[in-house]
A and B are shown apart, each in its own frame.
Chain A
């Protein structure tokens, strides 16, 4: 049952326990072939959304649809079948430290296909080439830099040509050149393979550059969504503070404390 949206989240509520509700009644759509960003402060629940889509955790209420089918963590076979259609780039790469660069990218191919070694070799080298690291194939993971690690992880994530690629903070901590490379890769890969991409990030500038649509999450709710232009023009104070990086606003600068006059003994 093909729909316009590869992934659809309807009225989802999730909390690790009753006292900590991370997401409240959120609804998001991820149209096929588009790059959509989920932005927000640290700890706002962005990564949790990725984990919900991947079926790692189960929502308290609401539903998640992948290609029209609900994501059900209790049906292991269906879940694993779903996961073979998606690739995830973890924040620091999450490369397997006991394998070489080549073996890391080859991992999904070895585990899920019966392809002969020669074909696996070709595919791995092509994927590494797509991220510009074909020459690094024989290195050990301990020998690669942070930026390289993320690119290798990206090559690994696309090894099986997934329909959905999820990026968890792909821009965090990168130098300007690596930043440019990464943003470029995300957009080009999405367009070249016809995949759908979800980018979780708080880097407003890069997201504006490459994303077709963006969601802004704060305190477990969606406070704004739209194209880059729409968000920039938004009058909502929370959206404006985030987009412009203003130090004070709906998200206060000061951690809750007594009035300073009282603290310093200045009150009369």
Chain B
């Protein structure tokens, strides 16, 4: 009987802790939003961050985009050729990329490359008392350090996602038209016929903005809350990747059901 009571108490304690961290996290998110106008006013700070998390992610995004586009093109061809619909390869690849793979894969890659870098940076700044020093110098670290990185994430992720999808389509073109020999005109016209700029490109962009906000927020929060030790920072970077990935996938499901299930 005692064991059951203990178990329930532990469960309750865990639930309360979870609620507390959710509240804490929401407050942190609110602080980021609150200091965004300040970060926009001092845009030079954000520009530095855009370089660090956007520009420096270009290589991984472009290579992955080309690879994914190429692979999709191949697999689409194998599947469609059986039904004599090989010319639809472009359409299939474009829709997959624009609606789903572009936003989602970009967000996951971003979380791994830029998210961990942000987490580690913030964690180390906190451990090295840099944030405390800034406060002692009467400069609010939320506006000077955190908000510019938040802004940079929201700006960078949609740009990276667009580049990913564009490169992916180009990759599929290279595979489909240049290597396999699908008719180029058919490739593009089938795609253009079936891809709607508002429904597919537009919704994809909405998704990627949401993912950008989510991944950057998670990265900053885990870094800020990490223990001021080397192990603490390492654990925080792992947590960033895990939580960002799950968040992106869950949000993707929610957004997709909102955007694509209602037929006009």
So, do A and B actually touch in the complex, CB under 8 Å? yes
User: A84-B138, A107-B137 known; A97 and B130 CB under 8 Å?
Assistant: yes
8 Å CB contact of A83 from B121, B130, B137: B137
Contacting chain B: which of A87-95, A210-218, A231-239? A87-95
Interface residues of B in 113-139 (CB under 8 A from A): 121, 124-125, 128-130, 132-139
Interface residues of A in 74-110 (CB under 8 A from B): 79-81, 83-84, 86-88, 90-92, 94-98, 107-108
- Docked complex Cα distance between A252 and B125 (Å): 37
- Nearest CB of chain A from residue B121's CB, rounded to whole Å: 8
**0/1 string, A185-216, CB within 8 A of B gives 1:** 00000000000000000000000000000000
Tell me whether B139 and A96 are in contact (CB under 8 A): no
Tell me whether B132 and A56 are in contact (CB under 8 A): yes
Nearest 8 pairs of A and B residues by beta carbon: A94-B133, A83-B138, A94-B129, A80-B138, A88-B136, A90-B129, A111-B139, A84-B138
- Docked complex Cα distance between A110 and B136 (Å): 15
- Nearest CB of chain A from residue B160's CB, rounded to whole Å: 22
- Docked complex Cα distance between A41 and B133 (Å): 23
23 interchain pairs (CB within 8 A)?
A54-B136, A56-B135, A79-B138, A83-B135, A83-B138, A84-B137, A84-B138, A86-B136, A87-B137, A88-B133, A90-B133, A91-B129, A94-B130, A94-B132, A95-B130, A96-B130, A96-B134, A97-B128, A97-B130, A107-B139, A111-B137, A111-B144, A112-B138
- Which interface class (under 10, 10 to 19, 20 to 34, 35 or more) fits B? 10 to 19
By a CB distance below 8 angstroms, the chain A residues around B129 are: 90-92, 94
For A, the interface residue count at a CB cutoff of 8 angstroms equals 22
By a CB distance below 8 angstroms, the chain A residues around B132 are: 56, 90, 94
- Docked complex Cα distance between A28 and B136 (Å): 21
- Nearest CB of chain A from residue B136's CB, rounded to whole Å: 5
Q: Which of B121, B130, B132, B137 has the most CB of A within 10 A?
A: B137
| B137: nearest chain-A partner, CB-CB | A108
- Nearest CB of chain B from residue A72's CB, rounded to whole Å: 15
| B139: nearest chain-A partner, CB-CB | A111
Instruction: Give 10 new A-B contacts, CB below 8 A, not counting A94-B132, A96-B130.
Output: A83-B137, A83-B138, A87-B137, A90-B133, A94-B130, A96-B134, A97-B124, A97-B125, A111-B137, A111-B144
- Nearest CB of chain A from residue B129's CB, rounded to whole Å: 4
